[in-house]
Amino acid sequence: MIISILLFIFCNGFGYITSGQYISKDALLKIKRTHKPKNLSEDQIKLLLNHLNYSLFLQDLKNILIPRVSGTEGNKKVTSYILRRLKDDIGMKTENYTHCQLVPVLHKDRYVMFHGRNDIKNSVVDNTNGERIGAEICFNNLASETNPDALRSLVLACHHDSKYRLEEYKYKQYQKAQKFRAHESEFESDNFDSDQRFTQEPQFLGATDSAIPCAIMINLAQALSSPIRCNSKNREDKISLQMLFFDGEEAFDIWSPDDSLYGSRHMANLYQKQFIPLGERESNGKINMLERIGLFVLLDLIGEKSTRFYDFFPSTNKNFQHLVNIENRLHSYQLLSPSNTLPLRYFTNSNLRSHGVEDDHIPFLEKGVKILHLISYPFPHSWHKFDDDGTNADFDTILDITKILAVFIAEYLNLRVDTSTMAC
């Protein structure tokens, strides 16, 4: 009788797992902190990587690599495409979190300086002088995951919007405007449409920034869907693969805390208020969606031959070293491209702790989430330039990085990889 009472106190008073129905918050957080990935064998890795579909990757990239500024039809088209691929084709639970807010579409004089006319729809007028200074934009953030009932998650994230205006083009157009104004009398109005002088801007596509990371994530979801589906575990042992596609990473005017990271700021605040129960009864307690995240991996500026990653955060050094280890193993198995040789590895053994880059991880980092920031550093030469259109992409590099990430995810999730699970 005494033993039974003690067992009851231990199991319930201290949050011990009982029949897979309840685990205390402290116990769950400890499991999350002490989580260790299990290495796959060479044969298992080869079996896993055979399920990466390069043709589907190219198809996904083609559909995402279009102008997709937040609030535009191109953005809605890309959002719908990613949603269909993840939800309908792959079978992940996927939701579109839409929110609308005012953004600065070039403040007053800057707007007139660079564009010459007020052509932004749904604009807000400054009552002082009547100049249009902003617009209400609706952002679409996609959240997709494999195991919604799991108490822990591994997050992969990127942004799917493209930049609104490029500084290099604005400056050139400003120079043209100055020249035009200096010689305006020389132009005949019948032969020169002044309303068109600022509207011949070429389209920015943003391949590394961040169409390629989006396509990589979809490819990973496709390749890992079968083993994840087949690896049934107790709820407390399950780890959901969660994918977040943020809308509104880019600034509309000048990068600032208020004009950037629209989607990730919204989702971090939302996740802080969203809770999931730890057991069948509400009295068992709950955790919010941020506390559920064991690791948040952000992909950005990936795809050129110069892609190199550095270790930015001490708290995720072990995770970064795991990536270094995976790259070394794949290289030794001759599963990476011939160009993957020392010292030209993608994951370096160096850290850049003082070189933190502002990106979509910031709102989550500020709320205590562990971050692994996989952004190419230094930035690609095509960063925020019109030639970031895919022509500079190195597909050996892209495929290598996709392979490394596939193994990283499978090992982090402790997936069982064999012929039966890969065909599930």
Residues designated catalytic: 249, 300
HSE-CB for 392 with a 13 A CA cutoff: 21
- Whole-angstrom CA distances from 53 to 26, 223, 302, 341 are 40, 7, 18, 24
The three-point CA angle 259-263-265 to 5° equals 75
Burial bucket for residue 46 (CB in 10 Å: 0-12, 13-18, 19+) = middle
Is residue 400 within 8 A of residue 46, CB to CB? The reply is: no
Burial bucket for residue 124 (CB in 10 Å: 0-12, 13-18, 19+) = middle
Task: Return phi, psi of residue 138, to 5°.
Answer: -100, 125
Burial bucket for residue 341 (CB in 10 Å: 0-12, 13-18, 19+) = exposed
Taking alpha carbons only, the member of 175, 170, 162, 191 closest to residue 300 is 162
Is residue 259 within 8 A of residue 102, CB to CB? The reply is: no
Kindly tell me the sign of the dihedral angle through the C-alpha atoms of 181, 182, 185, 186.
Answer: negative
Q: How far apart are CA 48 and CA 142, in angstroms?
A: 26
Q: How far apart are CA 416 and CA 424, in angstroms?
A: 12
Kindly tell me the sign of the dihedral angle through the C-alpha atoms of 208, 372, 275, 284.
Answer: positive
Is residue 96 within 8 A of residue 140, CB to CB? The reply is: yes
Over the range 126-138, which residues count as b (16 or more CB within 10 Å of their CB) and which as e? Answer: eeeeeebbbbebe
User: Prior bond to 37 cis, omega within 30?
Assistant: no
